Structure 1
């Protein structure tokens, strides 16, 4: 149960950043290796095709300022739901309370990391140059793929990485929004 909790937390964090990449990576790992850790439902052909197509769409949309924020707004429902679904799949037949706890942990972690991602991306979109959005988006994609791959074989290491990234992300959102608010106030005072 303990390593399952670490796996669920990590996959929940990853789902909150990029749900489709999370499902695709888990499904591909299950298909390409003989791990029994990943539920077979994530490696079904239809699930893999849909997750890969949606990941490709998100990969492009997520690099475009403003379009990424619209995508994030729509994903406010999708990402936590996928995080909870993946956690539920991992929980399998663990039983009522454990299954409910793991499902809530996956969905809750996905919601938290989605909030961090959305907050950071809104702040990055205020930047006048066009490159930071693509850089941040690519870093997110690499982070999700790395954490998910790590979670399958080293769930505790993945938990440490994803928890650290979540905490760092929360602190980054706080700092960025303070800086942006100061800049807005300064701008208002100079135009008034």
Structure 2
């Protein structure tokens, strides 16, 4: 049966999914938007820094396939944890990167995790709200997630301007991944 807006907003899983994906995407935007500048600060050329987006994009595309398959094999919650762990680990590696190889490795890991975000978001909302309410639930989630996401990149830039590096900004984004992973504990989805 089709649910009303009020009914969807009263479902605990709705708010848990908003928190998980809001935090997860916020963490990524706070890092990805600054990686070329970060790479140049480490002494890499603008061309080397630009490769990073290509590597990240390729692995994000690959992540969609991998996490889509994982959803078929293991539970959605476990798949979410793996995706979030990839993103958090990738950010940690970025923080400690001193050469182009570790930087590329870090965006490969992050890209895989980020690539899983959309299939996971759509699948978990579909599982939580069934096909009759999926579109409405996803649409309602956007106004609650976007405010977190739009401040992420400027906030990372502000931390860079104030502290002269990205260590604190990227570390905060690792914490956001940890929080997203913690919130997954509370996600209860019906069996498929």
User: Given the two structures, how large is their TM-score scaled by the length of structure 2?
Assistant: 0.45
